[in-house]
Structure 1
Amino acid sequence: MIQDSVGVTLGLGGTVRIGASAVEVSDLMVAFEAIARTGSVQGFADALGLSYRAAWARLQTYESALGRPLVHKTRGHGTALTAFGVSLAQALAAAASALEAGLGRETRAVERRLRELLIGRAGALTLAASHDPLLVEVLDEVGGFEVSVMGSRAAVERLLDGGVDAVGFHCGARGPGAAGPPFSSIDAAAGLALYPLFEREQGLLLAHGNPHGIRSLSDLTAEGVRYVNRQKGSGTRDWFDRMLAKAGLSAAAIRGYAVEEFTHQAVAAVIACGAADAGLGVRASAERLGLDFLSVGWETYYLAASRSLAAPALDNLIAAARARAGRMPGYRPAASEAK
């Protein structure tokens, strides 16, 4: 019986390791393809230039390492893959087809599938995500994720490098394709699926009553106005910098431009306690702390993951986020909900 403590890893060199045993992925894939095609162990033996006896011995080695039978013989019908063998073959094939798009990322996906096949559960998904109040609530509700909060740029780079299973990010009032690297690398050709979760309204969070009478970005340069920024690499910071450039405003002219916070809620809290007068963030954070809000536009918040990643927790997160977007102020359903 395979215990929950069994360690399953797929090495970058193409080796599946289960506990202390190791199996070459390429050999497994040759065995699966040959047996499925010929309906015999002899087909596998011929494919690797082995004797029939040596081929059987190798299959037994694989089965011993995996702890499950891969093939079964039926009188008059030859040899076929077991249900477990078929599922494992499919998982390896899906990963192999996308290896060029991201070896590390697809490695994570097949590791999850293999754990699920062997011990009945795959564990929590790892998610790197830009901060969002709605997303935080949904993650608390659905569970099944280990979450790291960071800027959109860093989060996407971590997914592309294979460091996490999924990523949540935004690019301001434009799509990933128009945002440039690393966002433009998230597409079907890279073996990734892109899910628009919801649209949210961003704007200037302003002290209650807007005592400085801020009506535009240029008002942020007025004497006495203190700004609180988001950290470098965040989607909100990138959007703010683009707006400044478009308006011909210098960052040096904004008092507090170098003061950074890492979440929308933290920006709102700094303003609410009187330490700053304005900062860019989502409407939901302004409403929670009774701040004034000056809208600058709507943007789409996305989720991305490997197309080969099959995880109920991911489906639950997408469904719950989209449903909540229609009920929470400052949010609305995404115009397009699948890609």
Structure 2
Amino acid sequence: MTTPDVTTRLVQTSRLNTFVREAGDPDSPVLVLVHGNVSSSVFFDALIEQLADSFRIIAPDYRGYGGSERRTIDATRGMADFSDDVVALLDALKITLPVDLLGWSAGGNIVLQLAIDHPDRVRRLVLEAGGSPYGFGGTHGLDGTPTAEDFAGTGGGTANPDFCQRLAAGDRGEEPTSPLTTLRAFYVKPGFTFDPEVEQRYLDGMLATSVGDDIYPGDSTTSQNWPGLAPGTTGTNNALSPQYLNQGAFADLDPAPPVLWIRGADDQIVSDTSMFDLAQLGKLGAIPGYPGEDMVPPQPMVSQLRAVLEAAGEFTELVYDDCGHAPHLEHPQRFADDVRNFLR
């Protein structure tokens, strides 16, 4: 079957000018695709083509990411700036019926927040490598207990400074901290190879991220607690800090929408042993002064999400072997089939 072309446009909403990829029959059920951090909707191009025969696909870029307008992210609202942006887009497109949403990585936190704040707008959720409902880093236990009172080790200061500099400079090289190396080593399982032309389009999507205190990674403050930094108040990484993000309320929805959770067995980003969690890096000796696992344990991200989904009700967890942080890129046909079957 020939799928409709993927089209792009800017949509002015009540909140910002949003860049959107669209495909499919306008009368088909709506599926909204929400990308992850340091990426854009370009990462969904192949998935859009696979699913456009069954759904009206809408894939926006975050504020300050991809082709969307740069607007400061108020991190003190957690992920609500992002989820409210999605709702404003639906309003601008005059979509009032409940929709299905797929969130990849931090996009998973965005769709969870949308379901909490606007349950009447949601039919079903797909979480692809979704983040912990208790933010990124700085908590322990299945209930997301904060490790430090000031949430040290989370927020804007956790991003690698050299990576941020290279991102801002549009670096297309292969140095250890370059965006391209990060794509190859962490977005997918190491050893997975992209088509070279497609890989460059994904790199374009990463490099379109607005770098600064307002967007990525956000500002930071100092801390007396290890590792010496704590969250600021603006930017994506602060919005993901447990100081501002607690989505345990998803379990209190009555009813909570059914959830399909797909993750890779070899994910190094969202993991109970994440290589982006400073506590895990400290435990491995990569960050000096680590006070020990008793005082600063790594965050059990996957286990925390599972606990909330179990409390919420109906969910299905699929774990893909030989797969990292991007199941839709690494196992595209299986992923599209699983999503289509669940949403039907």
TM range (shorter): under 0.3
Bigger radius of gyration: 1
